Amino acid sequence: MGYFTEIYFFDYKFIILTVFFAVASCVIGIEFSKKVRIVHGKGKSLLQGSALLAVSFWLTHASVAFSVDVPFSMMAFGIYSIVSLFFCFWGSFIALKISNLGSVTGKQYISGSILIAISILGTDALGYSFLFHDDMDWKVSLLIVTGLLTLGCSFSLFRFLIQITNDDHVGIGKWKHIGSVAAGAALAGIPFITLISIIRLDGGNAITPGMLTPFIFVILAHLLLMLVPDLFGDRLLLKHSHAYKSLFNHNPGGVFSVDLKGNVVNANEAASRITGYPNEELIGLSIDSFFDERNKQAINVALHNVLDGRIINIETQILQKQGTSVNVRITPIRSMINNQMMGTFAIVEDITEKKESEQKIKFLAYHDELTKLPNRSMVKNEIAVLAKENTHFSMMLIDFDRFKRINDTFGHSFGDKILIHIGDQLSRLIGSQGIVSRIGGDEFLILVPSAKNKPLAESIISEFNTPMLINGIEVLLTASMGIANYPAHTTNIDDLFKYADIAMYHSKENGANGYSFYNSAMADTALNKLDMENDLRAAIENKELMLYFQPKFNTVHKKIIGSEVLIRWKRDLQGFIPPNVFIPVAEESGLIVPLERFVIEETCRVISDWLEKGKEVKRVSINISLITLLQEGFAAYVLEKISEFHIAGNLLELEITERVVMKNEDDVNSTLHKLREQGIKISIDDFGTGYSSLSYLDKLNVDILKIDQSFIRNIQQKKEVISAIISLAKSLNLRVIAEGVETLNQVELLRYLGCEEVQGYYYSPPVPIEEFERQLEHKYRFQNA
Ligand code: C2E
Ligand code: CA
Ligand code: CA
């Protein structure tokens, strides 16, 4: 038989079919391998892929069996099918599984290739020996060559598969196709050479040259397959090296290349900047030197995860060369070359600024920006913790009397300074015994152990009885405090806040400058700001507010020289509400304007009534808030009223607080001027509480100074100041009156200091009009006069 005819041991139709199935197997292998890599829940894809690959692989080999003219029984075909399908599946599974490991070690590569070779040989050599068991003719030399070729093909095939699976780069499509054809051709050739090696093909045992043709074919196909990864692999490598270079140099973050031992092998400029090590010192440095003990462990765990293929970000701190630490975010990526794990790349970003702003945001969420004290949210959290631990604690709510006036007078920045000062004072007093917070405006809230609430409350109240020195100005701000106990009063946190508030208002009602513990009786008369505002509005409209009069007395002539009108509000359920409680509410809500117009009108009515009855009328003073005074048309309103009631201006006095002067000096002065032109007197109320500088006094259109109660209360310590105020007043031609006079001792000392006009409980508290009329008519004698 001639050389060429010997190829036709095999039917060419089946040869074509075989090549077709072989190439198909390669395509299926590559596609499924990629799919398995991408899809999560790999198990299912892996099995499906393996099954499909096994079938097409098996078809490749089975069609070879039909291409030879050697008969076989159905029974033999059945056994063959089972054996060969088993090997096909097994080989496919191994190939897909290993190529998907991502990083394939040398060992895995070699053993994987050997296993694939075994599965091919199993499919063919073993399978065919079952199929053609009657026509076996083992040609050992050819069989060895077949085995070695199969092994060689397995190596190349597997390498190609791994590379194609893991390096998904654009522009490798062409190589993928060439590779698939080469691999398919090599694969297709193997069953032919196996058949030639083991069965008798035309009765003879001799190895003819024609039999070698398929071997040559397989060798050529294999050669091509071997070249494919190198050809496109080089191109990829080139691309990668460009990519790496730019990743290194143009990365705004520090980039470190670290080997498997944890030593830096390369680093960019930014890396030097972040770590403080010059580049040459960085190289060779162990990454351990960047972390302290605590962070080291976390980093090691993270790196392990990275080497296992997980992608993570680590936020940690690194130690710079100088020993300072920087907040960084590290993104480690394992570095692979030819599917060999080389180490890791780490991209390190300095996140100090981000961290700082995060911390600031976090801080602000739980702190008051002004005083830096905890805020309401933080307090709520703390309370939740205390409640959970079942700690007995007290909530002390502090509100500063007359704080609003300070703000109005000196402006907000001065008010802010006072709040900061108060915060410092409270923190100092409480120290580690509790938590001091500012929960808004001039409200401070303190949590302390219940056992210590009383001494702490006392020390706070007494602390604020001494004036604070702010910007060289003495400010006296007394505190009113309400205390509610957990769990004694309630275990409901919202109620606890409410109760402390109720108790605080109770303190204010009782003349402020003190503390009160909550009790359930208070709740019944609880003052709710909003309700109060609504009721107050109605009270003004319905003229339910009453005027009380407090006489002013001359201690030398022992005569009433005038009176001050003080407003009284009798609220249905609660009884009398002190002005200290509702005047601030009126000021906040703007109700103060109609309220004061009411007082002005009523006072005018009273005076004109007295005049009509032919009584001797002494000057009556009315308290005027800054808000009202600044209202346009205020002077006009007052003048209109005195003319409406036919009253001489000198029967009226307006008491304003000294803060009035600081603001809108010119506007205020022109208003005061218009009033004084008509004989109305102006006095400065609470004099001495605002600020120590008296320099404004000569600029102001006023007649009288009312020395504040706080001076009289501490008259022994304040003698010098009172004396200074009196002499200053005299030099400016102002009259002085002392308010809050409660004892004879005070009366005498004041007289000694040169102040003969007084007002206070020593002579009379504010009284209803009828009683005041009796006082005026001398029918009623002052006990003390
Ligand atoms: P103020 O103008 O300084 O009034 C003096 C306050 O001291 C009055 O309190 C008065 O009852 C009280 N007082 C009088 N003598 C003594 C004393 O010997 N010892 C003590 N401890 N206190 C004494 P009241 O009536 O509760 O008024 C409190 C504040 O409410 C007033 O302080 C004033 O600022 C405001 N107020 C009262 N009525 C009016 C009003 O019609 N209009 C405005 N804008 N404010 C008013
Ligand atoms: Ca007054
Ligand atoms: Ca006063």
Q: What is the pLDDT of residue 6?
A: 45
Please list the residues that pair with 652 across neighbouring strands. 620
Specify the range with the lowest mean pLDDT, choosing from 164-173, 337-346, 404-413, 626-635. Answer: 164-173
Which 8-state DSSP code applies to residue 132? T
C-alpha 291/C-alpha 595 separation (Å) is 69
C-alpha 563/C-alpha 652 separation (Å) is 10
Specify the range with the lowest mean pLDDT, choosing from 145-149, 235-239, 593-597. Answer: 235-239
- Count CB neighbours of 572 within 10 A: 8
Distance 709 CA to ligand 3 centre (A): 7
Core vs surface per residue 744-777: b (16+ CB within 10 A) or e? eebbebbeebebbbbbbebbbebbebeebbebbe
Check pLDDT > 50 for residue 1.
Answer: no
Question: Is the link from the previous residue into 487 a cis peptide, with omega within 30 of 0?
Answer: yes
Q: Which helix (H) or strand (E) holds 156?
A: helix 140-166
C-alpha 393/C-alpha 449 separation (Å) is 4
Q: In the chain, helix, strand, coil percent, each to 5?
A: 60, 20, 25
Distance 568 CA to ligand 2 centre (A): 13
Mutation probe of ligand 1 site: the residue of 623, 742, 762, 763 with most atoms within 8 A of C-beta: 623
Core vs surface per residue 57-66: b (16+ CB within 10 A) or e? bbbbbbbbbb
**Residue 124: how many CA atoms within 13 Å on its side-chain side?**
27
Q: Is 584 a pocket residue for ligand 1 (Cβ < 6 Å)?
A: no
Sequence-ordered list of residues with C-beta below 8 angstroms from that of 532, at least 6 positions apart, any chain: 577, 581, 582, 585
Please list the residues that pair with 480 across neighbouring strands. 399, 514
Q: Which atom of ligand 1 is closest in space to residue 599's alpha carbon?
A: 41
Section 467-496 average pLDDT:
88
Q: Note the pLDDT tens digit of each residue in 733-759.
A: 899 999 999 999 999 999 999 999 999
Which 8-state DSSP code applies to residue 292? -
Specify the range with the lowest mean pLDDT, choosing from 49-53, 602-606, 658-662. Answer: 658-662
Contact status, residue 147 vs residue 203, Cβ threshold 8 Å: no
Q: Is 760 a pocket residue for ligand 1 (Cβ < 6 Å)?
A: yes
Please list the residues that pair with 705 across neighbouring strands. 684, 736
Contact status, residue 176 vs residue 31, Cβ threshold 8 Å: no
* Terminal alpha carbon distance of the chain: 156
C-alpha 63/C-alpha 18 separation (Å) is 6
Distance 108 CA to ligand 1 centre (A): 95
Q: Note the pLDDT tens digit of each residue in 698-733.
A: 677 889 999 988 889 889 888 888 888 888 888 888
Ligand nearest to the CA of 513: 1
C-alpha 398/C-alpha 505 separation (Å) is 10
Q: What is the pLDDT of residue 784?
A: 63
Q: Note the pLDDT tens digit of each residue in 351-367.
A: 888 888 878 877 878 88
Fill in the amino acid letter for 504.
M
C-alpha 249/C-alpha 254 separation (Å) is 9
Distance 708 CA to ligand 2 centre (A): 9
Q: Is 737 a pocket residue for ligand 1 (Cβ < 6 Å)?
A: no
Max avg pLDDT among 233-237, 248-252, 327-331, 605-609: 605-609
Contact status, residue 194 vs residue 128, Cβ threshold 8 Å: yes
CB-based neighbours (< 5 A) of ligand 3, an ion: 685-686
Q: Whose CA is nearest to atom 35 of ligand 1?
A: 579
Across 190-339, the runs of DSSP E, i.e. the strands, are 254-259, 264-267, 314-319, 325-337
CB-based neighbours (< 5 A) of ligand 2, an ion: 623, 655, 685
Ligand nearest to the CA of 626: 1
Check pLDDT > 90 for residue 15.
Answer: no
Sequence-ordered list of residues with C-beta below 8 angstroms from that of 581, at least 6 positions apart, any chain: 505, 508, 509, 527, 532
Instruction: Note the pTM of the prediction, 2 decimals.
Output: 0.48
Specify the range with the lowest mean pLDDT, choosing from 259-263, 545-549, 599-603, 758-762. Answer: 259-263
Q: Which two tokens stand for residue 759?
A: 């007002």
Q: Whose CA is nearest to atom 13 of ligand 1?
A: 740
C-alpha 443/C-alpha 427 separation (Å) is 14
Stronger pLDDT, 422 or 226, i.e. the higher one = 422
Q: Which helix (H) or strand (E) holds 503?
A: helix 493-509
Q: What is the pLDDT of residue 19?
A: 84
Degrees, nearest 5: CA angle 715-717-719: 60
Q: What is the pLDDT of residue 467?
A: 84
Q: Is 742 a pocket residue for ligand 1 (Cβ < 6 Å)?
A: yes
Q: Which helix (H) or strand (E) holds 543?
A: none
Section 252-281 average pLDDT:
88
Q: Which two tokens stand for residue 595?
A: 């309220």
Q: Whose CA is nearest to atom 14 of ligand 1?
A: 760
- Count CB neighbours of 142 within 10 A: 18
Q: Whose CA is nearest to atom 43 of ligand 1?
A: 623
Q: Is 686 a pocket residue for ligand 1 (Cβ < 6 Å)?
A: yes
Q: Is 599 a pocket residue for ligand 1 (Cβ < 6 Å)?
A: yes
Section 507-518 average pLDDT:
83
pLDDT band at residue 692 using 50, 70 and 90 as cut-offs: very low
Q: Note the pLDDT tens digit of each residue in 587-635.
A: 888 899 999 999 999 999 999 999 999 999 999 999 998 888 888 899 9
Q: Whose CA is nearest to atom 21 of ligand 1?
A: 740
Q: Supply φ then ψ for residue 258, to 5 degrees.
A: -125, 135
Contact status, residue 372 vs residue 378, Cβ threshold 8 Å: no
Q: Note the pLDDT tens digit of each residue in 395-417.
A: 999 998 778 777 777 778 888 99
Q: What 3-state class would DSSP assign to 398?
A: strand
C-alpha 22/C-alpha 16 separation (Å) is 10
Q: Whose CA is nearest to atom 7 of ligand 1?
A: 740
Please list the residues that pair with 447 across neighbouring strands. 395, 435
Please list the residues that pair with 315 across neighbouring strands. 329
**Residue 223: how many CA atoms within 13 Å on its side-chain side?**
6
What pairing do the DSSP bridges indicate for beta strands 757-759 and 546-554?
antiparallel
Check pLDDT > 70 for residue 274.
Answer: yes
Q: What is the pLDDT of residue 109?
A: 84
Q: Is 601 a pocket residue for ligand 1 (Cβ < 6 Å)?
A: no
Fill in the amino acid letter for 710.
S
Q: Is 707 a pocket residue for ligand 1 (Cβ < 6 Å)?
A: no
Q: Which atom of ligand 1 is closest in space to residue 759's alpha carbon?
A: 15
Q: Which two tokens stand for residue 416?
A: 């802010």
Q: What is the pLDDT of residue 756?
A: 95
Stronger pLDDT, 777 or 560, i.e. the higher one = 560
Section 429-456 average pLDDT:
91
Specify the range with the lowest mean pLDDT, choosing from 68-77, 552-561, 628-637. Answer: 68-77
Check pLDDT > 70 for residue 69.
Answer: yes
Among 110, 201, 189, which Cα is nearest to 154's? 110
The per-residue pLDDT of the chain, averaged, comes to 84
Q: What is the pLDDT of residue 335?
A: 74
Distance 706 CA to ligand 3 centre (A): 7
C-alpha 293/C-alpha 655 separation (Å) is 70
Specify the range with the lowest mean pLDDT, choosing from 207-221, 474-488, 512-526. Answer: 512-526
Q: Token pair 């085995």 is at which residue?
A: 147
Distance 766 CA to ligand 2 centre (A): 11
- Count CB neighbours of 704 within 10 A: 22
pLDDT band at residue 781 using 50, 70 and 90 as cut-offs: low
Stronger pLDDT, 658 or 251, i.e. the higher one = 251
Check pLDDT > 80 for residue 778.
Answer: no
Q: What is the pLDDT of residue 525?
A: 60
Contact status, residue 335 vs residue 307, Cβ threshold 8 Å: no
Contact status, residue 474 vs residue 467, Cβ threshold 8 Å: yes
Q: Percentage of residues in the chain with pLDDT exceeding 90?
A: 30
Check pLDDT > 50 for residue 105.
Answer: yes
Q: What is the pLDDT of residue 222?
A: 87
Ligand nearest to the CA of 747: 1
Q: What is the dihedral of CA 439, 445, 449, 454, to 10 degrees?
A: -170
Among 192, 73, 87, which Cα is nearest to 131's? 73
pLDDT band at residue 585 using 50, 70 and 90 as cut-offs: confident
Mutation probe of ligand 1 site: the residue of 549, 565, 583, 712 with most atoms within 8 A of C-beta: 583
In angstroms, how far is CA 331 from the centroid of its own chain? 23
Q: Which helix (H) or strand (E) holds 705?
A: strand 704-707
Check pLDDT > 50 for residue 693.
Answer: no
Sequence-ordered list of residues with C-beta below 8 angstroms from that of 379, at least 6 positions apart, any chain: 435, 437, 439, 445, 447
Q: Note the pLDDT tens digit of each residue in 127-141.
A: 888 888 888 888 888
Specify the range with the lowest mean pLDDT, choosing from 109-123, 462-476, 544-558. Answer: 462-476
Q: Which two tokens stand for residue 326?
A: 């920087």
Q: Which atom of ligand 1 is closest in space to residue 567's alpha carbon?
A: 38
Query: What is the maximal distance between C-alpha atoms in the chain?
Result: 160
Give the Å distances, CA to CA, from 57 to 25, 91, 95: 6, 10, 12
Q: What is the pLDDT of residue 754?
A: 92
